[in-house]
Structure 1
Amino acid sequence: MKTLALFDFDGTLTQKDSLFEMAKHVSSPAIYYLKISVLIPVFTLMKTSLLSKQRGKEIFMQLFFGGMKIEDFNQQCYKFCNQRLPEIIRPKALIALQQYQENNTDTYIVSASPENWIKPWAEKLGIKVLSTQLEVQNLRITGRILGNNCNHEEKVNRIKNHINLTEYNHIVAYGDTKGDFPMLNLANTKHYKPFQ
C-alpha cells in the first residue's frame, strides 16, 4: 500500500502562527507591537468579512516585509527556520512526521504560509512543501501574494496540480481549521487537531 501524508502547518505542526513569529523575527519588539497596533483596523475588517483574508494578509506582509531584498528576506527565513521554528513545532507532530519519513511515506506540508520560511526546515526532514508564494519585483518582496493564498479549496488545487493522486492507495491528512476541511475531505483518513 502506497500512502500519501498531507500536513497543514500553522496550528497543526506549530503551536503558534508562523506569520506573526516571522514578523517578530525581522522586527524589534517595539517596532513589532507598533506595526501590530497599526494593523488592528485590518484585523477587525477581516473578522467582519469586509476585507478578504488574502488582502488582509498582504497588507500585513507589506508592512513587515515589503521592500526587503529577496536575498536578505530568504536569509532571514533560513535563520528563522534554524533558530525560532524548532521552538514552536509541536513535539508530537514532529514524531509523526519522522515516523512517516522512516516508512518512506511521501509527505507534504500544504500551507497558507509562504514557502520561504517553511522549505528550509521541511527539506532537512525530506518533506516537500506546497504553499503560498510571494510576489517579487526588482529582486524585492512586494508583500503581495503570487496567485492565490494556499488555503481552503486552493490547498486541494495545489495538491492535484502537483501530485498524481492515482499513485496512492491511501491518503492521510492533518489539519486544525476550516481552511483545512477541503484537504481533509480529500483524504481516506482525517486527523483534526490531533497534536493539541
Structure 2
Amino acid sequence: MSKDCQIVAYFDFDGTLSNKDTLIPFLIYCVGIVKFIAYLPRLLPVVIRYVFKTIDNQEAKQKTLTIVLKGWKEEDILIKAKNFATTHLNKYLIPETYAKLEWHREHKHRIILVSANLAIYLRFFAELHKIDDVIATEIEIVNGVVSGKLATPNCYAMQKVIRIKEYLESNGLNFDYAYGYGNSRGDHEMLLFVNEPYYVVSGEFEDYHQLNHSK
C-alpha cells in the first residue's frame, strides 16, 4: 500500500485488547465489593433470564446498570470512570494485541475502539493510550444524573457496523483500507466489514476470512 493510503484499524476491547470483560470490574470499582454483593439478589434474576435467553444482552446490560448506577451524579461517575481507566485497565491488557495496536500507531493508522462496553471509561483509556476515537455503548445521563438506561443501542454484532458507518459519515471519513480485531460472536459483522480481519485467540491472530471459509 502506498504512503498516501488512508488506513484504519478497528479494535474490539473486552477479550481482544483485554483478557476479560471489564464491565463488572468497573461496577465493583464504582460501588465497592460489599455494596456490589448486596446487589446480587437483584442481579441474579437478570443473569438467569439472560442465560435462558428471555432477555437479550442489551436489556440485561440496561437492567444491570439501573440496579447499580441509577441516580449517580455525572461528575461522580466520570471521576470513577477516569480513575478506573487509568489505574485498572492496563493490568488486563493482552501484550500481543496491544503490540498490534502500537504497530498501527507507529504506521500512522487511525485507531478506533469498537466495543459493546461502556464508552464512559473507554474514552479515558483511549486518551491515555493515544487512540483516536471510541465507538461504544453510551449510558444515558439526564440533567446531570445517570438514568440507568442506555443512550445508544448496545454496540454489539451488527450495531458495530451501523455505528462505524455513522461515525465515518458524520466525520466525513473514507478509508482506503481497514483492519479489524475481535474475539467473539459480537465481532462477526465488524470483521466481515473490514478488508483484513483477525480473530484474536490467546494472543494469536487468525485470519477471519480463512476461519469462515473452513467452517
Of residues 181, 187, 199 in structure 2, which corresponds to 1:180? Answer: 187
Shift of 1:124: 2.4
Stretches of structure 2 that go unaligned for 5 or more consecutive residues are 205-215
- The amino acid across from 2:116 in the alignment is A
Structure-2 separation of matches of 1:190 and 1:45: 33
Report the counterpart of residue 22 of structure 2 in structure 1.
18
Report the counterpart of residue 177 of structure 2 in structure 1.
170
Aligned pairs (5 A) from 1:20-169: 20-127=24-131, 128-163=133-168, 167-169=174-176
Q: Deviations over 1:5-40 (max 9, x none)?
A: 001111111112111110110122222223234312
Structure-2 separation of matches of 1:109 and 1:28: 27
Structure of higher CA gyration radius: 2
More deviation in 119-128 or 78-87? 119-128
Report the counterpart of residue 192 of structure 1 in structure 2.
199
Structure-1 separation of matches of 2:74 and 2:166: 26
Structure-2 separation of matches of 1:123 and 1:166: 20
Q: Is the 8 A contact 2:9 2:109 kept in 1?
A: yes
- The amino acid across from 2:187 in the alignment is D
Q: Is the 8 A contact 2:8 2:177 kept in 1?
A: yes
Structure-2 separation of matches of 1:36 and 1:102: 44
- Corresponding residue SS for 1:167: coil
RMSD: 1.6
Cα gap change, 1:92/1:37 in structure 2, threshold over 3 Å: closer, same or farther? farther
Structure-1 separation of matches of 2:107 and 2:185: 29
Q: Deviations over 1:66-87 (max 9, x none)?
A: 1100111001000001111111
Question: TM-score, normalized by length of structure 2?
Answer: 0.86
Aligned residue pairs, count? 196
Q: Deviations over 1:116-161 (max 9, x none)?
A: 1101111222211011111111211112101311111111011111
- The amino acid across from 2:163 in the alignment is R
- Corresponding residue SS for 2:153: coil
Question: TM-score, normalized by length of structure 1?
Answer: 0.94
Shift of 1:98: 1.3
Cα gap change, 1:62/1:191 in structure 2, threshold over 3 Å: closer, same or farther? same
Structure-1 separation of matches of 2:151 and 2:142: 11
Q: Percent identity?
A: 26
- Which structure has more RCO (C-alpha within 8 Å, separation ≥ 6)? 1
- Corresponding residue SS for 1:99: helix
- The amino acid across from 1:179 in the alignment is G
Stretches of structure 1 that go unaligned for 5 or more consecutive residues are none
Structure-2 separation of matches of 1:185 and 1:150: 16
Shift of 1:166: 7.5
